[in-house]
Amino acid sequence: MKKLLVFLFLFVIPFNVFGMDTATSSIVIDIDSGRVLYENNADEKRLIASITKIMTCIVAIENGDLKKEVKAESEILKMYGTSIYLELNEKMTLIDLLYGLMLRSGNDAAVVIAKEIAGSEDEFVKMMNDKAKELGMTNTTFSNAHGLDEETKNYSTARDMAILSRYAYKNKTYRKIIGTEEYRVKTNNKSYLWYNRMKLLGDYKYCTGGKNGYTPSAGKTLVTTHEKNDLNITIVSLNDPDEYNNHKRLAEFAFDNFNNYDIIDKNDFDLIIDDKSYYIKKSFSYPLTEKEKDNVSVLASIDENIKKGKAGNVKISLNNKVFKKIPIYINVEEKKENFFTKLFS
């Protein structure tokens, strides 16, 4: 992590001059700050195919018992396309089903998971849409848990799927699943050895995980995450005929042009005014280009009449435009009163 001695930020129009982008829609977002580093037609609603399963996975992680053994029932009979080939009445733990969902894109795993979590796929889809609304995915509609689009269709945008990827990546279980290259499972019926279908994992050294998808109507879709030099990014592309090479190019573009800088460190924030000391609860870092890092200003604003709690803000701005406010709190040392002090007071 690089440090700035002179703080800075710039409201830059997201880069959209990247000449080798092969996707109809795409976006690159910094996972930690949420800054858009690049975008191309990022708000067009499109079919998303199996990257749907990112939402299926995170909803299941947050609402299910991962150790519980789940039975595959009649819901698997209607499934087609990519599968982990569950058999009727076969039992598998929920966490194993999630690995099958994400590594092998198992459509049968998706409907078994949905029924386990919500009682039916329809009820599970309601949970998916509720989660999308909670996250601010304003252009997203889920109709199924798997991404097949011949009967029901899932629509989203590159921006919304990046919001979802950014959120899900902060969950340790999700992060472990998508970053797994091979996984072994043994059930009451048989043994499995799964290799991750998302080819960029292992092929590109900075890739930390992701999920691919494809249907004839949606084209190839891909969500990936990458890390280099304290910069964590997620990339989404929709209808992308060269998805893996495109994600490599977009990742290299981000890593070549941006570094993550410490703007304010909570452990190095010393503000004393008239013998009163102040502190902040959270540090703040931001990805910046080499040119941007010379243009930031930071202003601490304090209300000296406040004796307790929030006393002001650190305002980070460029050209008098504030883009980030960090609350400042006053240090209050409580004096411990002994028995006699309390008695006479």
Q: What is the mean pLDDT of residues 270-296?
A: 87
Q: What's the CATH number for 14-258?
A: 3.40.710.10
The reported pLDDT for the residue numbered 119 is 97
What is the residue-averaged pLDDT of the chain?
90
For position 345, what pLDDT does the model report? 44
pLDDT of residue 68: 97
Is the pLDDT reported for residue 14 higher than 50? Answer: no
Residue 291: per-residue pLDDT = 83
pLDDT (average), residues 6-24: 56
Predicted local confidence at residue 191, as pLDDT: 96
Residue 340 has pLDDT above 90, yes or no: no
- Span 27-54, mean pLDDT? 97
- Residue 105 annotated among the catalytic residues of the structure: yes
Write out pLDDT tens, residues 117-169.
Answer: 999 999 999 999 999 999 999 999 999 999 999 999 999 999 999 999 999 99
CA-closest candidate to residue 307, choices 328, 327, 330 = 330
In sequence order, what DSSP letters do the residues of 99-161 get, joined into one string? HHHHHS--HHHHHHHHHHHHSSHHHHHHHHHHHHHHHT-TT-B---SS---SSS--EE-HHHH
Q: Which of these is catalytic: 2, 3, 45, 50? A: 50
- Catalytically annotated residue among 25, 105, 237, 317: 105
Residue 298 to residue 9: CA distance in whole angstroms: 9
In the residue annotation, 176 being an active-site residue is answered as no
23 pLDDT more than 60: yes
Kindly state the tokens that stand for 182.
């091979």
The pLDDT confidence band at residue 8, using thresholds 50, 70 and 90, is: very low
126 included as an active-site residue: no
Catalytic-labelled residue, pool 2, 26, 45, 53: 53
Q: Encode pLDDT of 238-281 as tens digits.
A: 999 999 999 999 999 999 999 998 889 999 988 888 888 999 99
* Average pLDDT estimate for 281-296: 87
Average pLDDT of the residues in 184-193 = 94
Taking 90 as the threshold, does the pLDDT of residue 214 lie above it?
A: yes
% of the chain beyond a pLDDT of 90? 76
pLDDT of residue 205: 97
Dihedral (Cα; 222, 137, 12, 267), 10-degree rounding = -100
Encode 189-200: b = buried (16+ Cβ within 10 Å), e = exposed. eeebebebebeb
CB 127 within 8 A of CB 117: yes
Instruction: Quickly state the pLDDT bin for 13 (edges 50, 70, 90).
Output: very low
**pLDDT given at position 100:** 98
pLDDT value of position 78: 92
- 339 pLDDT above the threshold of 60: no
Decide if pLDDT at 30 tops 80: yes
First to last CA, the chain: 52
